[in-house]
Amino acid sequence: MTIRELVFATGNQDKMREIREILKDLGIPVHSQGELGIDIDVEENGTTFAENALIKAKAIAAVCGKPTLADDSGLVVDYLDGAPGVYSARYLGRDTNYDIKNQYIIDQLADAKGEERSARFVCAIALAIPMEDGTIRTWTTEGVMEGQIGYKIAGANGFGYDPIFYLPQYGMTSAEISPEQKNSISHRGQALVKIEQVIRELVAETAESAADTEEQQADEDGSQNHRTYRILVVSDTHGKTANLTNVVAKIGEIDMLLHLGDVEGDEDYIRSLVSCPVHMVKGNCDTFTKLPATEVVDLGEHRIFMAHGHRHGVQYGPEEIAEAARDNYCDVAFYGHTHEPKMDRLSDVIIANPGSLSLPRQDSHRPTFLIFEIDRKGEMHFVWNSISPDGEKIMQEPV
């Protein structure tokens, strides 16, 4: 069974960072359902965490047709007879701020002492894989983190109920310990490690045939590097999508599309062009848009900083955007704005501009784009391309 990518049934970016960090050794891209444009409300009507995780995983897998992970987790407080339990997200109302929820639980335990304050985080992870015969195979794992309810809200590293979940072994709440410490003991971390093993075993089922295929491909093209990611990077289309449509039709399969701003209202059309995840940021000409000004994309061991660049002074040099990339722990920064393909390396950060597909300003005046690849060794490859004047040919563009 070949698993080339995974979808996680969540739109919570805090959760996605935690998930990607724990599953990074798989070497498989993990997308959120939001990145694939899946916006459906799945009714979680199960009576256990595992049932709810299965409901979500199967529903999203049926929509996207890809291997899908989903979790259901919550806080179980013994003094409250197991509440909030499977209703943790909906406790006191789904839209109720967690500061209010946390203080309410503390107040409910005002008379509880010592072991009476025992509690645990429970997480169930479900994996759902659509099969060729139309069925969906499923697996589930579970993790538990034991602790107590603290006497006050404390910490800013976590989310949800973390600030009241006290860990006696650390003398702190799970919102006060470092992300690395939390990942090593957390309920979600335990469940993800178990599901990671399930995925490795599934991948191993077809490892021999996959190895044969890779060896044959290596013999054919003389290359020992087999791509893990192939990403189309574009910028500054300025409401003119003909060249982008042409490029997508000609370059073959891609794993992701990155647009670095000045989309000018074509967000929905651009997403409809491809079946892979699409990330876009806001440019200086994107006046009426909900796109973010910057975005960070995790790709295995590499971390990509996206920005249009006009707020980082890229017209004067790459130093400011390189610093922004470092501040976000990124080793690559992509930007647009100047309409010229360019690449710089400043110490530990690579800074690259794909150029413009609509209004190129470099000497050749050909519309340009970038193909960014990461091979199985983790090595990055940057190939700039341009479109011939008649629109029929894609050729490499010297940078």
Q: Is the pLDDT of residue 161 over 80?
A: yes
Domain ranges of the chain: 6-204, 227-396
How far are the Cα atoms of 5, 22, 103 from residue 170, in angstroms, in the given order?
36, 21, 22
The question of whether 72 is a catalytic residue gets the answer yes
**Tokens linked to 1:** 């069974």
How far are the Cα atoms of 66, 266, 384, 398 from residue 259, in angstroms, in the given order?
24, 11, 15, 21
Q: Region of 261 please: left (phi>0), alpha (psi -120 to 50) or beta.
A: left
Look up the CATH architecture of domain 6-204: Alpha-Beta Complex (3.90)
pLDDT digits 0-9 by tens, 204-258? 765 555 555 555 665 555 444 445 899 999 999 999 999 999 999 999 999 999 9
pLDDT digits 0-9 by tens, 97-154? 999 999 999 999 999 999 999 999 999 999 999 988 889 999 999 999 999 999 999 9
Helix axis angle, 187-204 to 13-23, nearest 10°: 50
Q: Does the predicted TM-score (pTM) go above 0.85?
A: no
Looking at the DSSP assignment, which residues form a beta bridge with residue 165? 149
**Tokens linked to 116:** 């009476």
Q: Right CATH number for 227-396 from 3.10.150.10, 3.40.50.1970, 3.30.70.20, 3.60.21.10?
A: 3.60.21.10
Catalytic residue among 25, 39, 71, 72: 72
Say how far residue 33 (Cα) sits from the centre of its chain: 9
